[in-house]
C-alpha cells in the first residue's frame, strides 16, 4: 500500500509515516569493497559532525531528454539546433510525483520538515544538513574518519549504506557516503626536469609554417601566448562581438581564485585591447572571490587569462564553486562536503540563460567516483547539451594513468579489492555528453606525454564515435594492453589543443604552466568564437559538439599523428592518423571550422 503524502501536513501526521518506515526492512543500497588505495580507517566519525547529504531521485523521462539531445546536436537531423528551454529540461529531469511523496514522508519520519529541505530546480536532488548520528540512523550505517596515508587529509565516509526497501526504487543515490573522489585541477608545473619534452629549436628566419600553411612565430615553440594560439589555430583576422549575446563560461573550484590584478597585467602583456575589461563573477555554494595576491590560484588565473583573453570582447562568466571533501578531523571542520560538480550543476541548470560555451579543467579518476554518482552528474551534462551549451573538460594529466603527471610514480590499480593493474580513465572526461580535450606540444604539433586518454569503465561507447574508435582499435596489434582497458567503453579525448609552456601572470609575476588545464579553455575559446560567428549570422549555437565533430567536424581539425601518453608501466596509446585516445581527432583550424559551421542549418 502506498503511503499517504505528508507534504504540507502537520508534524503529528508524520508519525504514521514514521511508524511505517521503522517497520520496513532496510536493504543495502550501495557498497564498495573498501576505500581507495592509500586511504585507511582512522577513527569513528564524531556523532555531531555535520554532513550535507545530497539525495538523487530517479529521472524516469531521461531517455526522452537524451533523444532530444541526439536530435538537436546532429547537423543532419531536421531538429538540429532546436535546443530545449530550462522549463523543458526540468520537466524531463523531474521525478515521478509518487517519488517526491514517499521520499518526503521518509525524511519527515526522521524529523525533517519541508523547510529543512533544499530542492533542485527539477526537484531531482534533495539536500539536507544532518549530524553524523542522524545520518547513521537514516542510512543504517556507521561513518568513520578515513585518512589518506600520503597527504594526511581526511574524509568522513562509509563503505556501505542501506535504505528501507520501499525507498530503493525512489532513490538513485545518497552522497557523501561511499565516494572518495579527490577532485583535482588538471594542471602541472614545469618543474619536471627529468620528464619535460624539450621544445623544438627556433627556425633561422623566426617563423614556422603552421598546419594551416600560415606562418607562426618561432618563439611559440618555447612560449605559448594568445598571439601564438591565434596564429597556430588560424583565427588572427577574426574579431568577436561584445553585443550579440554570445558568452564564455569558466569554472573554478577548490579555493582557486582568479586574481583580477594578474588578469589586467596579463592583458597588458598579451592582449592590450582587453586591458580594463572585466568578467561576471558568480558565487556557488559559498565560492569566494578572494583578491589577495597571496591567495591567487594559478589554475583560475590560467583559465581566465587565456579563456577571456582569447575571446575578448565576448562577455565572460567565472563560476566560483565552494566545497571540497578533505578536512582536518581534529578541528571538526564543517567543510567536509560532496565533490562540487553537483553544486555547480544544480546552479547552472536552474538558470534561464547560460553561456553557450563552458570549460572545466578539473576531474578525478573515474573509479573513485561511484558509478551511480557519475551517471547522475553525466545526465546533468546531457541536460546542458540539450539546452545548447557546448561543455568542454580537460582529459587529465596522467596519460593512461592515475592523474600523476610522472609516469614513473603512478599507481594504476583497480579499486575493486583485486588490486589488479589497469589503466585509469578520468571523469567527467569519460562522460559521453561532454567534449574531452587532450594536449599537444610544439609546432609541428605532437601529443604531449601527459595527455589523458583512454576508455571508460562506466559508460559504453556512444554511437557517434563507433566508426572512428573501431578504426583505431583495428590498428592495434592483437593483444595490445589486453585486460588493461575496456575496448567497449566511451573513448576520449575527442579533440586536443596546445598544453605546454603557457605564459601566465601569477601573483604579479610571469611563469609557465602546462597541463590539459591549458588545452580545455583554449579549445573552448575557439568554440566560443564559432558560436559567435553562428549567432552573428542568425544561427543557433553549436550546443553539444560531439555528433558534429565525429560526423564532419573532424575534417576541419589538424590531425596529430605523433606522440603517446605513457602510464601504468606502459608506453600508453599512440597518436596516429585519424582519431586516437591521446589527441582525439586533433586541434582546431578556425577558418575551416567556421566555414563548416556556417554552412550548417
Name the residues annotated as catalytic: 299, 303, 517
Task: Indicate left, alpha or beta for 519 from its phi (over 0: left) and psi (-120 to 50: alpha).
Answer: alpha
Q: Which of 153, 115, 155, 163 is nearest to 132 (CA)?
A: 155
Distance CA 467, CA 585 (A): 12
DSSP result, 546-565:
HHHHHHTGGGGEE---S-B-
* Residues annotated in a binding site: 559-560, 578, 580
Number of helices (H), then strands (E), belonging to the chain: the values are 14, 29
Q: Please state whether beta strands 50-56 and 173-175 pair in parallel, antiparallel, or not at all (unpaired).
A: antiparallel
Distance CA 220, CA 206 (A): 10
Distance CA 458, CA 370 (A): 10
Q: Is residue 12 within 8 Å of residue 152, measured between CB atoms?
A: no
Cell of 438: 587532450
Q: Which of 468, 512, 516, 460 is nearest to 490 (CA)?
A: 460
Cell of 89: 529540461
Cell of 284: 556557488
* Residues annotated in a binding site for Ca(2+): 559-560, 578, 580
Count of positions (residues) in the chain = 601
Q: Where are the beta strands (DSSP E) in 49-124?
A: 50-56, 118-119
Q: Is residue 144 within 8 Å of residue 325, measured between CB atoms?
A: no
Amino acid at each position: 500500500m502506498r503511503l499517504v503524502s505528508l507534504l504540507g501536513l502537520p508534524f503529528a501526521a508524520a508519525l504514521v509515516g514514521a511508524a511505517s518506515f521503522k517497520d520496513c526492512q532496510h536493504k543495502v543500497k550501495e557498497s564498495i569493497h573498501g576505500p581507495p588505495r592509500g586511504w585507511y580507517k582512522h577513527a569513528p566519525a564524531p556523532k555531531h559532525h555535520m554532513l550535507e547529504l545530497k539525495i538523487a531521485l530517479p529521472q524516469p523521462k531521461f531517455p526522452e531528454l537524451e533523444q532530444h539531445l541526439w536530435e538537436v546536436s546532429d547537423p543532419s537531423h531536421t531538429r538540429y539546433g532546436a535546443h530545449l528551454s530550462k522549463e523543458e529540461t526540468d520537466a524531463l529531469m523531474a521525478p515521478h510525483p509518487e517519488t517526491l511523496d514517499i521520499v518526503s514522508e521518509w525524511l519527515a519520519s526522521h524529523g525533517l520538515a519541508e523547510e529543512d529541505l533544499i530542492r533542485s530546480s527539477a526537484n531531482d536532488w534533495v539536500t539536507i544538513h544532518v549530524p553524523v548520528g542522524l545520518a547513521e540512523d537514516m542510512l543504517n550505517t556507521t561513518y568513520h574518519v578515513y585518512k589518506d596515508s600520503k597527504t594526511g587529509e581526511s574524509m568522513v565516509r562509509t563503505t556501505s549504506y542501506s535504505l528501507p526497501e520501499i525507498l530503493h526504487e525512489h532513490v538513485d543515490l545518497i552522497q557523501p557516503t561511499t565516494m572518495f573522489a579527490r577532485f583535482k585541477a588538471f594542471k602541472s608545473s614545469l618543474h619536471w626536469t627529468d620528464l619535460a619534452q624539450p621544445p623544438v629549436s627556433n627556425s633561422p628566419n623566426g617563423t614556422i609554417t603552421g598546419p594551416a600553411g600560415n606562418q607562426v612565430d618561432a618563439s611559440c615553440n618555447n612560449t605559448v601566448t594568445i598571439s601564438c594560439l591565434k596564429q597556430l589555430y588560424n583565427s588572427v583576422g577574426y574579431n568577436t562581438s561584445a553585443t550579440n549575446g554570445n558568452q564564455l563560461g569558466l569554472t573554478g573550484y577548490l579555493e582557486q581564485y582568479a586574481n583580477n590584478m594578474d588578469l589586467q597585467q596579463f592583458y597588458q602583456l598579451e592582449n592590450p585591447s582587453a586591458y580594463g575589461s572585466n568578467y561576471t563573477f558568480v558565487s556557488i555554494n559559498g565560492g569566494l572571490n578572494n583578491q589577495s595576491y597571496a591567495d591567487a590560484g594559478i589554475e583560475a588565473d590560467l583559465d581566465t587569462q587565456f579563456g577571456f583573453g582569447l575571446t575578448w570582447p565576448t562577455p565572460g562568466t567565472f563560476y566560483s564553486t565552494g566545497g571540497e571533501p578533505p578536512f582536518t578531523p581534529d578541528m571538526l571542520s564543517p567543510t567536509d562536503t560532496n565533490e562540487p560538480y553537483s553544486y555547480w550543476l544544480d546552479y547552472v541548470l536552474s538558470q534561464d540563460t547560460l553561456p553557450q560555451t563552458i570549460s572545466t579543467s578539473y576531474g578525478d579518476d573515474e573509479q573513485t567516483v561511484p558509478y551511480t554518482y557519475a551517471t547522475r552528474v553525466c545526465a546533468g551534462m546531457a541536460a546542458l547539451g540539450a539546452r545548447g551549451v557546448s561543455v568542454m573538460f580537460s582529459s587529465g594529466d596522467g596519460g593512461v594513468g592515475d592523474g600523476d603527471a610522472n609516469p614513473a610514480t603512478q599507481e594504476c590499480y583497480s579499486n575493486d579489492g583485486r588490486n589488479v593493474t589497469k589503466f585509469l580513465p578520468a571523469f567527467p572526461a569519460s562522460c559521453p555528453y561532454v567534449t574531452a580535450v587532450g594536449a599537444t606540444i610544439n609546432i609541428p604539433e605532437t601529443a604531449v606525454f601527459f595527455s589523458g586518454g583512454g576508455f571508460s569503465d562506466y559508460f559504453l561507447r556512444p554511437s557517434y564515435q563507433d566508426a572512428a574508435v573501431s578504426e583505431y582499435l583495428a590498428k592495434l596489434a592483437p593483444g595490445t594492453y589486453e585486460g588493461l582497458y575496456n575496448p567497449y567503453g566511451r573513448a576520449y579525448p575527442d579533440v586536443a589543443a596546445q598544453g605546454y609552456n603557457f605564459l601566465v601572470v601569477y601573483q604579479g609575476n610571469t611563469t609557465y604552466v602546462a597541463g590539459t588545464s591549458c588545452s580545455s579553455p583554449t579549445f573552448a575559446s575557439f568554440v566560443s568564437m564559432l558560436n559567435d560567428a553562428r549567432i552573428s549570422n542568425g544561427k543557433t549555437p553549436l550546443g553539444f559538439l560531439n555528433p558534429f565533430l565525429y560526423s564532419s567536424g573532424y575534417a576541419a581539425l589538424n590531425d596529430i599523428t605523433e606522440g603517446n601518453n605513457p602510464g601504468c608501466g606502459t608506453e600508453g596509446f599512440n597518436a596516429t592518423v585519424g582519431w586516437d585516445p591521446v589527441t582525439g581527432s586533433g586541434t582546431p583550424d578556425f577558418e575551416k571550422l567556421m566555414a563548416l559551421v556556417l554552412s550548417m542549418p
